[in-house]
């Protein structure tokens, strides 16, 4: 599956919010409960802070990758694919791409996952992420910047 990343622009904001609602609602509902106003506000705040990319296949937006780059690590803030494109290896490839960016810069990759999303945690574990701590409900995961996995 040929995918590429492009920088998200203002015109992608509604697609990304709809994607957030479609893909994360159940996990968020099972963890904190879903509040539309809070979700929208938090989404807008993060949209202004992160490097947001669209995952694009042949000109069609199929997902979003939100990254926070710091001098010490790359943090995956969000990764979401439209439901019909899940389970085809794209998420795996996108995370591997971020891991490679980290390796190139000598930086680990970090992310947070919640227990309500065990499938995502399994994917990250297969890619070499390890649990570094738990701050309920968040599980902190980190993938070291070496290439021996």
Ligand X SMILES: CC(C)(COP(=O)(O)OP(=O)(O)OC[C@H]1O[C@@H](n2cnc3c(N)ncnc32)[C@H](O)[C@@H]1OP(=O)(O)O)[C@@H](O)C(=O)NCCC(=O)NCCS
Beta carbon of residue 120, minimum distance to ligand X (angstroms, whole number): 4
Q: Taking CB under 6 A as the rule, does residue 108 contact ligand X?
A: no
Beta carbon of residue 35, minimum distance to ligand X (angstroms, whole number): 19
Which of 61, 77, 116, 120 is in the footprint of ligand X by CB under 6 A?
120
Q: Taking CB under 6 A as the rule, does residue 92 contact ligand X?
A: yes
Give the number of other Cβ atoms within 10 Å of residue 10's Cβ: 7
Q: Taking CB under 6 A as the rule, does residue 97 contact ligand X?
A: no
Name 106's Cβ contacts closer than 8 Å, sequence gap at least 6: 145
Output the CA angle 81-119-88, nearest 5 degrees: 45
Nearest to 52 by CA among 96, 111, 8, 12: 8
- Of 7-15, 39-47, 66-74, 115-123: span binding ligand X (CB under 6 A): 115-123
């Amino acid at each position: 599956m040929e995918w590429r990343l492009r920088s998200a622009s203002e015109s992608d904001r509604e697609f990304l919010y709809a994607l957030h609602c479609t893909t994360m609602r159940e996990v968020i509902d099972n963890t904190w409960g879903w509040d539309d106003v809070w979700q929208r506000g938090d989404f807008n705040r993060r949209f202004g802070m992160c490097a947001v990319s669209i995952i694009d296949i042949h000109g069609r937006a199929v997902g979003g990758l939100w990254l926070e780059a710091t001098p010490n690590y790359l943090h995956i803030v969000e990764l979401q694919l439209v439901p019909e494109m899940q389970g085809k290896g794209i998420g795996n490839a996108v995370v591997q791409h971020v891991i490679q960016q980290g390796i190139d810069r000598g930086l680990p990759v970090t992310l947070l996952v919640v227990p309500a999303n065990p499938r995502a945690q399994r994917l990250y574990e297969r890619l070499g992420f390890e649990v570094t701590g738990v701050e309920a409900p968040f599980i902190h995961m980190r993938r070291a910047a070496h290439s021996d996995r």
